[in-house]
Structures are given as structure tokens and as C-alpha cells.
């Protein structure tokens, strides 16, 4: 069994669609620390689980210095063309740290866990159930 862990930072902006009053309803930013965990029983043809550079490039190129609410490929964007929150609140897809961790994990077949750290005390983790075969 081979395990690897890749950690790097990206800067993002987002706002959340919540059913309670919060400053997170307004656009704000984070310097996220991402930790991506991958596993494989076998090494690939280059004798790696996955290239560290491939992980960083794929995620950083897609998300770094972007407003997550506007990154269509990630699925957090608005699907309605209106500026009225009341008309779009049911179609907003919340770019929470939890959902971001899940999206990142699904970008790599070798990935079984992603940690998204928004601040020193706030980290969301996603664990992929399909990796239970490895007893991780």
C-alpha cells in the first residue's frame, strides 16, 4: 500500500447561501490550506501513486484567486440569471468548505481524503467511502 499527502495553499472568494443571518452571506475571502490524501496498492508506470505536480496544477489552475460562486465547472455557480436572492436562493449551490473538499476528492481516482482549512481553528474534511477497501 502506498500513501501520499500533498499540501498547498490557494486564495479564494465566496459567499454562502444560508437560512440564518451571517457575515458569510456577503462575499469574503480565505487563504485555504488544502491537504489531499491519495492511496494505491500499485504504483503507476512512473512509479508514483500520482504526481504531486498534477494534483497541485489541476486544483490550483481551477480555483486559485477565483470566486467559487462563479466557477461553473465546480458546480457552485448560480443557475438562474437574476440578482434577486429570493428568486435564486433555492438554486444556489453553497461553496462551503465541506463541499469544496468533496469536489476536490472526486477529481482524482486515487484520492480518499481532503482537508480544507479555512483558518487555524476551522477545517472541513471529506472522506471517500469508496476507499474503505484500503482500511484507511
pLDDT score of 92: 52
Instruction: Please state the pTM of the whole predicted model.
Output: 0.85
Secondary structure element (H or E) that encloses residue 63, with its range: helix 52-63
pLDDT score of 78: 53
3-state secondary structure of 98: helix
Q: Does the structure show a pLDDT above 90 at 34?
A: yes
Beta bridge partners of 66: 12
pLDDT score of 80: 39
What cell was used for 47?
512509479
Contact at 8 Å (CB) between 73 and 103?
no
Q: How far is CA 9 from CA 33, 57, 78, 116, 136, in A?
A: 4, 12, 25, 10, 25
| Domain ranges across the chain | 2-68+95-134
Q: Could you tell me which CATH class the domain 2-68+95-134 is placed in?
A: alpha beta
pLDDT score of 83: 53
Question: Does residue 36 or residue 91 have the better pLDDT?
Answer: 36
Q: How far is CA 77 from CA 102, 113, 125, in A?
A: 16, 24, 22
Side-chain-facing half-sphere of 21: CA atoms under 13 Å: 0
Q: Which of 56, 97, 99, 98 is nearest to 74 (CA)?
A: 99
User: Would you place residue 82 in the very low, low, confident or very high pLDDT band (cuts 50, 70, 90)?
Assistant: very low
Amino acid at each position: 500500500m502506498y500513501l501520499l499527502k500533498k499540501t498547498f495553499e490557494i486564495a479564494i472568494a465566496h459567499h454562502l447561501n444560508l437560512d440564518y443571518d451571517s457575515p458569510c452571506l456577503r462575499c469574503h475571502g480565505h487563504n485555504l490550506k488544502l491537504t489531499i490524501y491519495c492511496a494505491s496498492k500499485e504504483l503507476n508506470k512512473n512509479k508514483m501513486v500520482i504526481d504531486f505536480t498534477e494534483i497541485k496544477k489541476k486544483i490550483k489552475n481551477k480555483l486559485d484567486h477565483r470566486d467559487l460562486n462563479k466557477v461553473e465547472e465546480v458546480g457552485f455557480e448560480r443557475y438562474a440569471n437574476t440578482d434577486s436572492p429570493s428568486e435564486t436562493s433555492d438554486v444556489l449551490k453553497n461553496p462551503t468548505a465541506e463541499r469544496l473538499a468533496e469536489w476536490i476528492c472526486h477529481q482524482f481516482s486515487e484520492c480518499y481524503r481532503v482537508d480544507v482549512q479555512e483558518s487555524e481553528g476551522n477545517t472541513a474534511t471529506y472522506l471517500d467511502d469508496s476507499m474503505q477497501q484500503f482500511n484507511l
